[in-house]
Copies of this chain bind each other. A is one copy, B any other.
Amino acid sequence: MKFLVIGADAAGMSAASRVKRNLPDADVTVLEKTEDVSYSACGLPYNIGDPGRDLSDLVVRKAEVFRSKQGINLLTGHTATRLDLSAQTVTATAPDGNDALFGYDKLLIATGASAVIPGIPGTDLPGVFALKTLGDGRSIKTFLERNSVRKAVIIGMGYIGLEMCEALRERNIDVSMMEMSETFIPWMNPALSDYVKEETEAQGVRLHVGYPAEKIERTGGALSVISGDLALEADMVILALGVTPNTGFASEAGLETGPSREIVVTRNLETSSADIYAAGDCADAYHVVTGSKIWIPLALRANRAGWAVADNVCGIRTELPGVAGTAVFKLFHLQVARTGLNPAEAEKSGFDPVEAVVKTRSRAHGHPGSNDIHVQITGDRKTGKLLGFQMVGHDGVAHRINAPAVALHAGMTVEEYAQSDLAYAPPFGPVWDPTLTAAIQLMKKL
């Protein structure tokens, strides 16, 4: 069996490795356009923030190990350019510039996503960087080493933008952020996002919301990011406007794609074309709350989908239930997390959302070191169903979001969740876990 994989990161290498484990005799080839394979992209901001750490720390497994120990034909420097569905072949440009042809019985497209580069002048100036790949990380770290960077501007305030904000502050760089939306973290309840905003500003970061970046200029030695009357000077500019799936290759071949150009897959990770799978940041997923399709590029899903593709390819039929959209990030002293839907998303999906917001404490009454913890919960008025949670706090947020996430998978009502027997000890929380307090408050409104 010839299994061909395009893309050698989380989804691609998970699938390739597992096929070789399932079927040691399978012929597994992976085409990767860069020289980097199997690294933790999510770890890039933290690594960049620490001059003492090497980017190689982020590499989970080296290409050589995949080749020699696992028997995977891993070809780096190979850019897939054309997919011929009827011939079951992929054409790729090899490092020597020539085309090479690869046949397959089963194909996995795991081409990931790329940073969005806004269509404004100046994004190609030296000192302007996006951050998605290990290569991007290398460029940024090299630039920081070779230049005296005192001021940076980050365009965009999503996860990557905020994580890069912390990373640059760690290096004692002055940071300004610019965002076209009028609200800071638009998906978040204002009580929670205001708390995050205060913490960010307390770290000396200047936040400019409602400013669409119009151009980046270089005048003398300095860069300048311009939006109307606002001009922010910088030695370095980070573009953090989100990511877009790398699916040109797939859609040109006629594979079905969704509203964000992500590849549409079944619960078995099958694309619209026989024997072709897609997984990772380039593919969509079912949302466990809505039952509808959604595109949320997340690392766990990429790994899980890679495994599921491998099993399906090997005849072990495997369906994935989908994602709850559970995510967490660290921002200075804060932990910020979410799972499921916020009220606006719930309304779009046909629910009748009601929310409650509570501020409680991260530790028991009278226990030292207790901090505020802010919890938002969304439920459905019609069915009483739990729809989502958001949380912000100094401690005890990152893992606390997982109990609500499991409740969403189980389709629990708010009342059922409120009855959960959660752990209690004074150093770790109040008797009523903050998520339970939020659920109890919401029950009064349902």
Could you list which residues of chain A lie within 8 angstroms of chain B, going by C-beta atoms? 10, 40, 42-43, 46-47, 50, 53, 57-60, 288, 298-301, 303-304, 320-330, 335, 337, 339, 364-368, 396, 398-407, 409-410, 412, 416-417, 419-429, 431-433
Contact = CB atoms under 8 A, between A and B. Distances in A.
Given A40-B426, A399-B400, A428-B335, A324 B421 contact: yes
Given A300-B421, A398-B423, 14 more contacts: A40-B364, A42-B425, A46-B427, A53-B366, A53-B368, A58-B365, A60-B365, A298-B424, A303-B431, A322-B421, A325-B421, A330-B428, A403-B406, A409-B419
B405 A402 contact: no
Contacts of A425: 42, 327-330, 398
B429 A399 contact: yes
Residue among A40, A399, A417, A420 with most chain B CB within 10 A? A399
Name A's interface SS.
loop
A403 B420 CA distance: 10
B419 A304 contact: yes
A301 B421 contact: yes
A304 B419 CA distance: 8
Given A366-B57, A402-B433, A419-B304, A299 B407 contact: no
Residue among A53, A410, A425 with most chain B CB within 10 A? A425
28 contacts: A40-B431, A42-B364, A43-B367, A47-B366, A53-B366, A288-B421, A300-B421, A300-B433, A301-B421, A303-B431, A321-B416, A323-B421, A325-B421, A327-B423, A328-B425, A328-B428, A329-B425, A330-B425, A339-B423, A396-B399, A399-B428, A402-B420, A402-B422, A404-B406, A405-B421, A405-B423, A406-B406, A409-B410
A40 B329 contact: no
Contacts of A419: 304, 320-321, 409
Contacts of A410: 406-407, 409-410, 412, 416
Contacts of A57: 366
Nearest to A38: B365
**How many protomers of this protein does the assembly include?**
2
Given A402-B403, A425-B398, A40 B366 contact: yes
A335 B424 CA distance: 12
Nearest to A287: B421
B299 A424 contact: yes
Contacts of A299: 424, 431
Residue among A326, A409, A421 with most chain B CB within 10 A? A421
A364 B60 CA distance: 10
Nearest to A425: B328
Contacts of A321: 416, 419
Residue among A299, A301, A423 with most chain B CB within 10 A? A423
Given A57-B366, A300-B432, A330 B427 contact: yes
Contacts of A337: 423
A326 B428 CA distance: 13
Contact of A421 (B326, B403, B433): B326
Nearest to A61: B365
A15 B399 CA distance: 31
Contacts of A59: 366
A50 B43 CA distance: 39
The 10 A-B pairs at the shortest CB distance, nearest first, are namely A410-B410, A57-B366, A398-B428, A402-B403, A328-B423, A399-B399, A324-B421, A406-B406, A399-B400, A43-B426
Nearest to A400: B399
A26 B175 CA distance: 60
Contacts of A404: 406
A241 B299 CA distance: 46
A107 B410 CA distance: 37
Nearest to A403: B402
A405 B427 contact: no
Contact of A424 (B300, B366, B367, B433): B300
A337 to B, nearest CB: 6
A300 B398 contact: no
A46 B367 contact: yes
Nearest to A407: B406
A42 to B, nearest CB: 5
